[in-house]
Amino acid sequence: MSLIDAYFVGKTSQINVDGNQLPVRKAKGQDIYLDELGRFILGRWQPKPEPKTTPRQRARDPWPSELKGYIIYSRGLASAWRGRQLAMFRAWRLSIPTVQKLESVFEGEIRGGILRGGNLSVKTKLQLWKSGFIFLKAKKTELQEAHLKIIFLYRDLQGAINIGAALARTTAITDRLRERLEGIYGWVAVYAGQSGFLNAMQKSVDKIFDHLEQTLKVMQKHSFFKEQNISESQTANLLAAVRLLEREVENLKPIRPYRAWAGMTKLDLIFLAGAVKLRDFDSGRDYLQRILVSFQIKRQQRYMDKFLLELGKGQIQNKWKSVFDHWLERTIASFKWLQQEEEHARFRAPVCEKFIDFVLEAKEVLKEEGSIAAITKPLKEAYSLL
């Protein structure tokens, strides 16, 4: 069974993405799709244009099918997984603690102060005042409503208060904060399932790469490449090993970010098999060397996947500069060495020099105190080269 058949249903269907009907294969058990270009597409519900007026009404109001939307991850598998991981990381580190803390403040300190006739401590008053700004730019209906009610409550507590009205506002605020928490928990559960699927698939890809690496290392030691000598029986065994590599690489062709690399590598493997059959030792050695260097460059993309995840987490916590600096020096050193190997192997489309240029561009943006968006732009270009 192929990699794609293991994770996606066999039947092709169509989904509407931005007005275009895309032929896709659906993941088994998940709202995840793979299109003919190897892109991963994940489902997402759009906000309702006219949401109901209370938390209870909204909870009972299902999403209509026309509000089903999709996110296309054009850089492929690892990018889709990283997107889900970072969304959940932000929820657990920022969104959930913020809403939970506010809910606790309103249910405890502020409600208690109101029951004492509006006798709030200076600290609690400051918390109430600050909470009016937290959801100032919120797009979720429940947070917009909470924002307005917090402002009105703050105004009501400035003079003689109506305790019943103030308590009612507090209850309304906590209801909407609780609604937001339940909403976050709901999509986090969905994202966790999607993330688990994508992670399992990535592990299968990593196993293919591990097997490719092991086979290539063994192949390097073959007498065809070392001693320029080969018997009839050795020829058959070597060709069988090359065909096995072809099948492994073919497994990666349907998905990004392996699609282009797998196509070029399979072509080199076909040329390598032809050289073995003709006992063209020099050409065979050149083809193998090119495959080995190409494989090492592609491996760097996997290391970059892990870096981009840590960079994203650092951005969420506003601690990303140290992550970038550490990765930068190691990566530049690795690609300068790979550039020499690439030149020696006479690549048809060399990438290392361009990759280094993009990384150095990101370094310059960092020196100029540029935004994280400006820094990640050349990094995305560098990633796409691999």
In a domain, 320, yes or no: yes
Q: Are residues 177 and 251 in the same domain?
A: no
Q: Are residues 108 and 68 in the same domain?
A: no
In a domain, 373, yes or no: yes
What pLDDT sits at residue 195? 94
- Which domain-ending residue is among 190, 207, 236? 190
- CA nearest neighbour of 379 among 322, 309, 316: 309
Burial of 373 (0-12, 13-18, 19+ CB in 10 A): exposed
In a domain, 231, yes or no: yes
Which letter does DSSP use for residue 136 in this model? T
Provide the number of structural domains found in the chain.
3
Residue 26 backbone phi and psi in degrees, to 5:
-90, 140
What pLDDT sits at residue 43? 86
What pLDDT sits at residue 37? 93
- CA nearest neighbour of 124 among 96, 95, 102: 102
Residue 287 tokens, joined: 């083809």
In a domain, 146, yes or no: yes
Q: Are residues 134 and 94 in the same domain?
A: yes
| Residue-level pLDDT, tens digit, the chain, 386 residues | 789 999 999 889 888 888 888 999 999 999 999 999 999 999 887 777 777 777 787 778 677 777 778 899 999 999 999 999 999 999 999 899 988 988 888 888 888 877 877 777 778 878 778 887 888 788 888 888 888 888 887 787 777 777 888 788 888 888 888 988 988 999 999 999 999 999 999 999 999 999 999 998 888 888 888 877 777 778 888 888 889 999 999 999 999 999 999 999 999 999 998 988 888 888 888 899 989 988 999 998 988 898 889 888 888 887 766 667 778 888 888 888 888 888 887 887 888 889 999 988 888 887 777 677 788 888 888 888 88
What pLDDT sits at residue 271? 92
In a domain, 202, yes or no: no
Dump the DSSP string for 185-242: HHHHHHHHHHHHHHHHHHHHHHHHHHHHHHHHHHHHTSHHHHTS---HHHHHHHHHHH
**Separation CA 302–CA 280 (nearest Å):** 34
Peptide bond into 47 cis (omega under 30): no
pTM for this prediction: 0.87
Strands ordered across the beta sheet of 40-45: 8-17, 20-27, 32-35, 40-45, 68-73
Q: Are residues 226 and 296 in the same domain?
A: yes
Question: Can you give the residue range of the structural domain that contains 302?
Answer: 221-385
What pLDDT sits at residue 115? 80
Query: Which residues, other chains included, contact 5 with Cβ-Cβ below 8 Å and sequence gap of 6+?
Result: none
Q: Are residues 30 and 136 in the same domain?
A: no
Q: Are residues 69 and 90 in the same domain?
A: no
Residue 119 backbone phi and psi in degrees, to 5:
-85, 80
Q: Are residues 296 and 353 in the same domain?
A: yes
In a domain, 50, yes or no: yes
Q: Are residues 105 and 45 in the same domain?
A: no
- Name residue 42's amino acid: L
Q: How many residues are recorded in the chain?
A: 386
In a domain, 78, yes or no: no
Q: Are residues 353 and 239 in the same domain?
A: yes
Q: Are residues 180 and 271 in the same domain?
A: no
What pLDDT sits at residue 65? 75
Q: Are residues 92 and 55 in the same domain?
A: no
> What is each CA distance from 149 to 154, 275, 282, 346, in whole angstroms?
9, 76, 78, 67
- CA nearest neighbour of 366 among 316, 311, 313: 311
